[in-house]
């Protein structure tokens, strides 16, 4: 949204764009502004937002306007008083209380609101200033001294169902503690993305996220409900009891923003929606104070080297440069834990200099026989199927080893899901059997057919260290 002060009979505010400087702690929203000056915004911008809201709704109740713009009654009254003085708005009705007031635009006000909407169609919560966002992002950074950290007990509980080797779990925990870039590599289907998303859920503490940010007279829509998950209701109530918060901010869990092969050049900068006149924040900007996951690294719509070079300087400085209309550069925080996931060889994908910059490089490979069996049993329970140990033995020894397919974490859920699909199509109850699991296996279009049921087990079914059979080991 390109913003210029409206002309007309409004009294000059004498304000400049500034960040409010309340004494709030990181991890909580700032207190509610008591007047226009406390918002850090020009009075004329608030008038513009009020006029557009009233134009789209018509006669509007004061509490409804408060909820729409996320501004306090006192702030809105200042703006409405100015609009009445400028003959842009008038009182349409009063009730029994001071809050029970309806306002509407005058004819002149409707003409002015139409001019505002022709320039920018944004009608929503008032923005916060860029400086206010910078200040709060720094205060609630996970890198700040005293920030809560994830310990071994939390890691063990979070990954209890993932049959991770203890060494891999410890590496993930150390990587999360360090906040340094992390590379997860291994074959497709080994569970890299699932592990990365669990790291996102392990982030501690809550962060305040603005609905929108005012940047050099333009509005940047920042809050995304798909990315910024609201705080649990009990925490929100506790925060409201402790202070009356600025409703322009939403208390959320630390974000996890995931991008994949769809990532292109245009997604790495502010994007102007010409229809609305509002800028959209790029994914790495919305990931501030959280995790940015670049999945399927090497398959994006721009060369990997260019993508990683784009983030090299921000990783070092903690600051990124974004561009607005006219080529003007603005500095924004870059406070993300960068997680990369790929099924390509890291040495082929990344040059030596960038490999050195990555704090932790973790191979997520095939599971051990025992871990795979444990995962399969858990998936059977989740799919409401009785686990038949003979079928499990058949799956590992005949299907996996017979075809040379590794014991990847993705197989159990995929196979059992397909087993349900075939049963539903046939109009029967899903049941685990060798025939059913082989049908599901073949439907995955593997490059090698499964061995016939009578084929002998692979020599790999025997443990070299103990001499026991695989069947004896997995049960």
Q: Rounded CA gap, 401 and 324, in Å?
A: 56
Q: Are 276 and 120 in contact (CB under 8 A)?
A: yes
Number of H helices, E strands in the chain: 20, 17
SS percent in the chain: helix, strand, coil, step 5 = 40, 15, 40
- Count of C-beta atoms within a 10 Å radius of residue 339: 27
- Count of C-beta atoms within a 10 Å radius of residue 424: 11
Q: Are 292 and 257 in contact (CB under 8 A)?
A: yes
Q: Rounded CA gap, 283 and 293, in Å?
A: 10
Q: What is the pLDDT of residue 238?
A: 54
Sort residue 306 into left (φ over 0), alpha (ψ -120 to 50) or beta.
Answer: alpha
Q: Rounded CA gap, 120 and 273, in Å?
A: 10
Lookup: tokens for 167: 């060494």
Closest CA relative to residue 338, chosen from 283, 287, 292, 282: 292
Closest CA relative to residue 390, chosen from 286, 470, 310, 324: 470
Distance of CA 24 to the CA centre of its chain: 25
The strand pair at 336-342 and 278-280 is best described as: unpaired
Q: Is pTM, for the whole model, over 0.95?
A: no
Dihedral sign, CA of 7, 8, 13, 14?
positive
Lookup: tokens for 174: 């150390």
Q: Rounded CA gap, 28 and 308, in Å?
A: 33
Distance of CA 349 to the CA centre of its chain: 25
- Count of C-beta atoms within a 10 Å radius of residue 378: 17
Domains present along the chain, CATH in parentheses: 1-125 (1.10.10.10), 136-363 (3.40.50.300), 369-474 (no CATH)
Phi/psi at 243 (nearest 5 deg)? -155, 160
- The Cα-based distances of 465 to 368, 404, 468 in angstroms read 14, 21, 8
Q: Rounded CA gap, 405 and 366, in Å?
A: 10
Q: What is the pLDDT of residue 464?
A: 32
The strand pair at 249-253 and 278-280 is best described as: unpaired
Q: What is the pLDDT of residue 370?
A: 93
Sort residue 146 into left (φ over 0), alpha (ψ -120 to 50) or beta.
Answer: left
Q: Rounded CA gap, 384 and 380, in Å?
A: 6
Q: Are 346 and 392 in contact (CB under 8 A)?
A: no
Q: What is the pLDDT of residue 14?
A: 29
Closest CA relative to residue 453, chosen from 430, 464, 431, 437: 437
Q: Are 277 and 120 in contact (CB under 8 A)?
A: yes
DSSP 246-267: -TTEEEEEPPEEEE-TT--GGG
With the CA atoms of 122, 125, 128 and 129 taken in that order, what torsion angle do they form, in degrees rounded to the nearest 10? 20
Burial 249-285 (b: 16+ CB within 10 A, else e): bbbbbbbbbbbeeebeeebbbbebeeeebbbbbbbbb
Closest CA relative to residue 289, chosen from 251, 340, 261, 240: 251
Q: What is the pLDDT of residue 234?
A: 65
Report which secondary-structure segment, H or E, holds 46.
Answer: helix 43-57
Q: What is the pLDDT of residue 239?
A: 53
Q: What is the pLDDT of residue 111?
A: 97
Q: What is the pLDDT along the chain (475 residues), one digit of tens a residue?
A: 433 333 333 333 322 233 333 333 446 899 999 999 999 999 999 999 999 999 988 899 999 999 999 999 999 999 999 999 999 999 999 888 878 899 999 999 999 999 999 999 999 999 999 999 999 999 998 776 555 677 777 887 777 777 888 888 888 888 888 889 999 999 999 999 999 998 888 888 899 999 999 999 999 999 999 999 998 876 655 555 556 899 999 999 999 999 999 999 999 999 999 999 999 999 999 999 999 999 999 999 999 989 998 999 999 999 999 999 888 999 999 999 999 999 999 988 888 888 888 989 999 999 999 999 999 999 999 999 999 999 999 999 999 999 999 999 999 999 999 999 999 999 999 999 999 999 999 999 755 444 555 444 443 333 333 334 444 444 4
First CA to last CA distance, the chain:
64
């Amino acid at each position: 949204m390109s913003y210029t002060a409206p002309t007309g009979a409004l009294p000059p505010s004498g304000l400049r764009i500034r960040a409010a400087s309340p004494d709030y702690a990181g991890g909580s929203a700032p207190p509610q502004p008591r007047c226009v000056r406390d918002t850090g915004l020009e009075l004329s911008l608030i008038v513009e937002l009020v006029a557009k809201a009233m134009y789209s709704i018509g006669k509007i109740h004061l509490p409804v306007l408060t909820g729409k713009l996320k501004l306090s009654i006192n702030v809105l009254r200042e703006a409405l008083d100015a609009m009445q003085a400028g003959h842009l708005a008038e009182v349409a009705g009063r009730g029994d209380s001071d809050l029970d007031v309806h306002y509407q635009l005058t004819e002149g006000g409707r003409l002015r609101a139409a001019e505002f909407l022709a320039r920018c169609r944004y009608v929503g919560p008032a923005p916060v200033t860029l400086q206010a966002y910078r200040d709060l992002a720094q205060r609630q950074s996970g890198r700040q001294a005293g920030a809560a950290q994830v310990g071994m007990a939390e890691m063990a509980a979070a990954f209890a169902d993932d049959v991770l080797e203890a060494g891999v779990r410890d590496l993930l925990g150390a990587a999360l503690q360090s906040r340094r870039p992390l590379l997860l590599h291994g074959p497709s289907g080994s569970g890299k993305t699932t592990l990365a998303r669990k790291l996102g859920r392990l982030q501690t503490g809550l962060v305040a996220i603005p609905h929108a940010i005012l940047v050099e007279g333009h509005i940047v829509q920042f809050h995304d409900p798909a990315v910024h998950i609201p705080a649990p209701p009990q925490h929100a109530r506790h925060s409201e009891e402790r202070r009356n918060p600025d409703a322009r901010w939403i208390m959320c869990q630390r974000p996890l923003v995931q991008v994949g092969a769809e990532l292109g050049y245009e997604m790495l900068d502010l994007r102007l929606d010409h229809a609305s006149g509002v800028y959209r924040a790029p994914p790495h900007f919305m990931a501030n104070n959280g995790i940015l996951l670049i999945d399927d690294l090497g398959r994006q719509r721009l060369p990997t080297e260019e993508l990683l070079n784009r983030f090299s300087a921000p990783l070092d400085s903690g600051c990124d440069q974004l561009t607005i209309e006219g080529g003007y550069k603005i500095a924004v925080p870059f406070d993300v834990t960068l997680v990369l996931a790929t099924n390509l060889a890291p040495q082929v994908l990344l040059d030596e200099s960038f490999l050195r910059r990555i704090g932790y490089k973790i191979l997520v490979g095939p599971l051990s026989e025992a871990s795979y069996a444990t995962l399969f049993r858990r998936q059977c329970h989740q799919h409401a199927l009785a686990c038949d140990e003979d079928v499990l033995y058949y799956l590992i020894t005949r299907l996996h080893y017979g075809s040379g397919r590794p014991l990847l974490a993705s197989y159990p859920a995929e196979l059992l899901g397909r087993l349900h699909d075939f049963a539903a199509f046939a109009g029967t109850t899903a049941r685990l059997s060798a025939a059913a699991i082989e049908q599901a296996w073949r439907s995955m279009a593997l490059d090698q057919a499964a061995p016939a049921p009578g084929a002998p087990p692979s020599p790999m079914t025997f443990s070299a260290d103990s001499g026991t059979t695989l069947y004896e080991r997995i049960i």
